[in-house]
Amino acid sequence: MTSARLAVIPARGGSKRVPRKNIRAFCGRPMIEYAIDAARQSRLFDHIVVSTDDAEIAEVARRAGAELPFLRPAALADDLTATVAVVAHAIGRCQALGWTVDAVCCIYPGVPLLSPWTLAEGWTLLEAGNANYVFPVLAFESPIQRALVRDADGQTRPVFPEYAQTRTQDLPHAYHDAGQFYWGATTAWLDGLSLHANARTLVMPADSVVDIDTDADWLRAEARYLARNRR
């Protein structure tokens, strides 16, 4: 049996907010190619596998250098399927091929700003121990303890009234998932452990991550990508 460090790129065909997002041309190339290239350039992986239910995505991914040893079943390709379940399925299918999977990095397909060096940082942190998963985070620009909720009629009130009089500089920083990748021990994925409750994190610069949910987001992301690559 061959020992393997595995990258799994989950790329279902039914993207709702930006149709065909995973293979739509981003700065002239299918979006998923950026995730595949980051994985390849990192030189961390024995296998880069795309998990998809879509034949067109599978063909684009193959041409970009990924492996497609299986197609994802429809039951794991709806809007409610959790990432951990998709990766666990991929691990099981790869193990059935005779691979001994030591560690797995789930890399989302819409990550044109992801660098191979960030993947390497994540692997180093996971390898150091003390966590089942490692993933990147971004700091919220403002303290979440001072968040406001707004009613339909425009009335506004604090979400956390107990912090309404606390100075912002006295409140702890809060972070959110950057939505780029998750390194994890194989056992953590197969046991279904929660990603956010069992992880160490890397804090990312705000300009190193893009979240693309609309066409306007897409245009802003392309502009940021072009600006970064002109440096």
pLDDT tens digits, residue range 93-114? 999 999 999 999 999 999 999 9
With tokens 């989302």, the residue in question is 108
Euclidean distance between the first and final Cα of the chain, in Å? 45
144 inside domain: no
CA–CA distance, 66 with 40 (Å, rounded to integer): 9
Domain count, the chain: 1
29 inside domain: yes
Whether the Cβ atoms of residue 39 and residue 7 lie closer than 8 Å to each other: yes
84 inside domain: yes
What pLDDT was estimated at residue 14? 80
Using the predicted structure, report yes or no on whether residue 2 has a pLDDT greater than 80: no
96 inside domain: yes
What pLDDT was estimated at residue 3? 59
With tokens 């956390």, the residue in question is 160
The H-assigned helical ranges of the chain are 32-42, 55-63, 83-96, 116-127, 186-191, 215-228
184 inside domain: yes
The whole-model pTM stands at: 0.94
CA–CA distance, 8 with 68 (Å, rounded to integer): 10
CA–CA distance, 186 with 103 (Å, rounded to integer): 5
**The domain spanning residue 96 has which CATH number?**
3.90.550.10
Residues 6+ apart with CB under 8 A from 180: 107, 108, 111, 114, 118, 135, 136, 204, 209
pLDDT tens digits, residue range 162-201? 999 999 999 999 999 999 999 999 999 999 999 999 999 9
Taking CA atoms, 191 is separated from 56, 101, 126, 129, 211, in Å, by: 31, 14, 17, 18, 29
